[in-house]
């Protein structure tokens, strides 16, 4: 078993707070930690150093997490990769596991979640090392190993994940207590029974059968739904076990319980339904009734009453806006909003949003100053989502600007990305608040902003949409000196047709 100071962990994430936070959490456990801020730097570290575990962010500019995972699996197949998914959908983690990842953890995560996942990975490393020692020491069959009171059995029994080992006929020869608890089969021992006869799960049985006939040392990962009460969901990772001659002796399957993540997704869906029906509709009805008074449809009202009703209506509009943003956030994080991606001209998106926001800007006598490269790249994105991003950014630039100020919009090509900057001449943001402006419900409270109505959800929504499109957003600001938001979105990649390639060669 490896000592704590022998474990070397690499953290690759483009967010500094995640990198540094992970390093603090893991080094307190006595593990050695190295950090990298992008995929290219991470691959260089992997090439020049020996690591046991890689914590890898899936969504990064440049070389993305999926590409890093693919290269690592090709060059360092024994390195255990734990992916970090930025918007908590199980589908992204499943895709990564199909490509060879060991486990996953969603953002935002707690220190305990990180420790648990890394400890599971270390358990697997120790198990593999013990199994390798036993293989070298002896040519005994898996059935003999299962019956021996060995160190391997001790490690397996204390693992939090479920373990099932079969012989080459699919009969169970080894298991740990965790798998019995997970599957709710405490009334009978699985040893000696065929995996289908004991579990009754055809998908698992077929998965093991595929592993027993697979070429090389590849593994299979699959999500399994367990109908036996209580209903549960597992990520199963199966791999063949071979002897020195490469002959298949059996299979080993590790089970991770992901029921909690499924329940979380369902809770989000239920919340979206509740908000949609129980809050938004009544508020819309109240707003409509107030409009009747303001338009004089139910009789004359005084100037003071008119002002107060206008203030009430503004507050209701703020609540409806907050609800709409919250709904959009929930849908995006559930993978249900950014769906219809198409070719978009960023110039048309920005010009359309400016036209929409011009009446509001005129109230403060603000000027829009736009600068775009003539050959600006197109985007492959969801149009409604892009309109939401720039509507929120320009709305903030108007609300937090000074009278007679300016709003600068600059768009340019930047490698494989399109960079759009939105800058204002407004109140700015203090340095102490910069790291929190993308937090849900966070609002800057100063004398300059106290009269500005907002929900604290606009910028979190913008960040979530941009990350769902594999882009990034950053902010630069100083108090009293204005704010600049910098958005980078991947350009649309043109794939030339065979005819166009031939014409290119003939030129």
270-320 pLDDT per residue, tens: 776 676 667 777 887 888 888 888 887 877 888 888 888 888 887 787 777
Q: How confident is the model at residue 450 (pLDDT cuts 50, 70, 90)?
A: low
- The domain made up of 339-507 is a member of CATH 3.40.50.2300: no
Whole-angstrom distance, CA of residue 42 vs CA of residue 49 = 10
Pick from 424, 439, 422: nearest CA to 487: 422
Q: Is the pLDDT of residue 410 over 90?
A: yes
Residues whose CB is less than 8 angstroms from the CB of residue 315 and which lie 6 or more positions away in sequence, other chains included: 453
Whole-angstrom distance, CA of residue 86 vs CA of residue 464 = 9
Write down the pLDDT at residue 495. 42
Pick from 161, 251, 242: nearest CA to 205: 251
Q: What integer is the mean pLDDT of 60-81?
A: 90
pLDDT digits (tens, 9 = 90+) for 422-437: 999 988 888 888 888 8
Q: Is the pLDDT of residue 233 over 70?
A: yes
Q: What integer is the mean pLDDT of 20-28?
A: 92
Whole-angstrom distance, CA of residue 239 vs CA of residue 236 = 10
Whole-angstrom distance, CA of residue 224 vs CA of residue 97 = 13
Strand locations in 3-152 (E): 8-12, 32-36, 53-57, 80-85, 103-106
Write down the pLDDT at residue 501. 36
Q: Is the pLDDT of residue 53 over 70?
A: yes
| Residue 380: φ, ψ to 5° | -110, 95
Category of 320 on φ-ψ map: left (φ > 0), alpha (ψ -120 to 50) or beta = alpha
Contact (Cβ atoms closer than 8 angstroms) between residue 160 and residue 120 = yes
Pick from 409, 352, 332, 342: nearest CA to 379: 342
Category of 4 on φ-ψ map: left (φ > 0), alpha (ψ -120 to 50) or beta = alpha
Local structure of 165: helix, strand or coil = strand
267 or 411, which is more confident? Answer: 411
Query: Cα–Cα distances in Å, from 259 out to 164, 184, 234, 406?
Result: 19, 14, 7, 51
Give the least confident one: 41-50, 192-201, 224-233, 329-338: 329-338
Q: How confident is the model at residue 505 (pLDDT cuts 50, 70, 90)?
A: very low
Across all residues in the chain, what is the average pLDDT?
82
Model pTM?
A: 0.44
Q: Is the pLDDT of residue 136 over 60?
A: yes
Q: Is the pLDDT of residue 119 over 80?
A: yes
Write down the pLDDT at residue 144. 60
Q: How confident is the model at residue 80 (pLDDT cuts 50, 70, 90)?
A: very high
- The domain made up of 138-257 is a member of CATH 3.40.50.300: no
Q: What integer is the mean pLDDT of 120-124?
A: 89
Cα R_g (the chain), whole angstroms: 28
Write down the pLDDT at residue 503. 37
Sort 213 into a burial class: Cβ within 10 Å, 0-12 / 13-18 / 19+.
exposed
Sheet holding 417-424, edge to edge: 367-372, 406-414, 417-424, 483-490, 472-477
Q: Is the pLDDT of residue 87 over 60?
A: no
Q: What integer is the mean pLDDT of 132-155?
A: 64
- The domain made up of 1-137 is a member of CATH 3.40.50.2300: yes
Q: Is the pLDDT of residue 487 over 90?
A: yes
Whole-angstrom distance, CA of residue 228 vs CA of residue 410 = 57
**Token pair for residue 303?**
């100037």
Residues whose CB is less than 8 angstroms from the CB of residue 354 and which lie 6 or more positions away in sequence, other chains included: 368, 370, 394, 409
Q: Is the pLDDT of residue 138 over 70?
A: no
Q: Taking each helix axis from N to C terminus, what angle separates 383-399 and 346-362, rounded to the nearest 10 degrees?
A: 30
Whole-angstrom distance, CA of residue 5 vs CA of residue 3 = 6
Write down the pLDDT at residue 176. 86
């Amino acid at each position: 078993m490896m000592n704590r100071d022998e474990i070397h962990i690499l953290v690759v994430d483009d967010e500094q707070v995640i990198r540094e936070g992970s390093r603090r959490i893991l080094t307190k456990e006595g593990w050695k930690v190295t950090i990298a801020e992008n995929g290219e730097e991470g691959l260089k570290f992997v090439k020049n150093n020996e690591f046991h575990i890689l914590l890898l962010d899936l969504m990064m500019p440049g070389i993305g997490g999926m590409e890093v995972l693919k290269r690592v699996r090709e060059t360092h197949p024994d390195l255990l990769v734990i992916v970090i998914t930025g918007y908590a959908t199980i589908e992204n983690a499943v895709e990564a596991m199909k490509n060879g990842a060991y486990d996953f953890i969603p953002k935002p995560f707690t220190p305990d979640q990180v420790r648990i996942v890394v400890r599971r990975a270390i358990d697997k490393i120790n198990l593999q090392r013990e199994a390798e020692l036993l293989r070298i020491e002896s040519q005994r069959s898996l059935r003999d190993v299962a019956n021996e009171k060995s160190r391997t059995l001790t490690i397996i029994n204390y693992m939090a994940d479920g373990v099932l080992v079969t012989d080459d006929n699919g009969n169970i020869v080894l298991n740990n207590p965790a798998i019995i608890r997970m599957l709710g089969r405490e009334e009978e021992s699985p040893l000696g029974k065929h995996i289908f006869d004991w579990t009754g799960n055809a998908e698992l049985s077929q998965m093991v059968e595929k592993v027993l006939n697979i070429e090389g040392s590849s593994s299979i990962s699959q999500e399994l739904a367990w109908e036996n009460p209580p209903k549960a969901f597992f990520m199963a990772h199966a791999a063949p076990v071979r002897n020195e001659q490469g002959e298949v002796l059996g299979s080993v399957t590790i089970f991770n319980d992901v029921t909690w993540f499924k329940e979380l997704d369902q809770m989000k869906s239920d919340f979206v339904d509740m908000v949609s029906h129980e809050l938004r509709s009544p508020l819309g009805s109240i707003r409509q009734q107030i409009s009747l008074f303001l338009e004089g449809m139910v009789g004359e009202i005084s100037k003071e009453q008119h002002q107060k009703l206008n203030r009430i209506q503004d507050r209701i509009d703020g609540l409806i806006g907050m609800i709409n943003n919250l709904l959009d956030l929930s849908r995006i994080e559930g993978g249900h909003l950014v769906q219809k991606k198409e070719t978009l001209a960023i110039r048309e998106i920005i010009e359309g949003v400016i036209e929409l926001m011009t009446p509001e800007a005129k109230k403060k006598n603000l000027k829009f100053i736009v600068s775009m490269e003539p050959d600006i790249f197109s985007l492959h994105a969801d149009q409604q989502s892009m309109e939401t991003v720039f509507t929120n950014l320009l709305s903030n630039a108007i609300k937090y600007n000074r009278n007679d100020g300016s709003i600068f919009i600059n768009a340019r090509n930047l490698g494989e990305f399109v960079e759009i900057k939105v800058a204002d001449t407004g109140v700015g943001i203090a340095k102490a608040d910069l790291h929190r402006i993308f937090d849900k419900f966070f609002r800057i409270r100063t004398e300059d902003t106290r009269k500005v109505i907002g929900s604290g959800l606009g910028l979190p929504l913008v960040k979530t949409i941009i990350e769902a499109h594999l882009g990034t957003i950053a902010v630069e600001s100083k108090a009293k000196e204005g704010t600049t938001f910098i958005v980078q979105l991947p350009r649309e990649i043109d794939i030339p047709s065979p005819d166009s390639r031939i014409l290119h060669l003939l030129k």
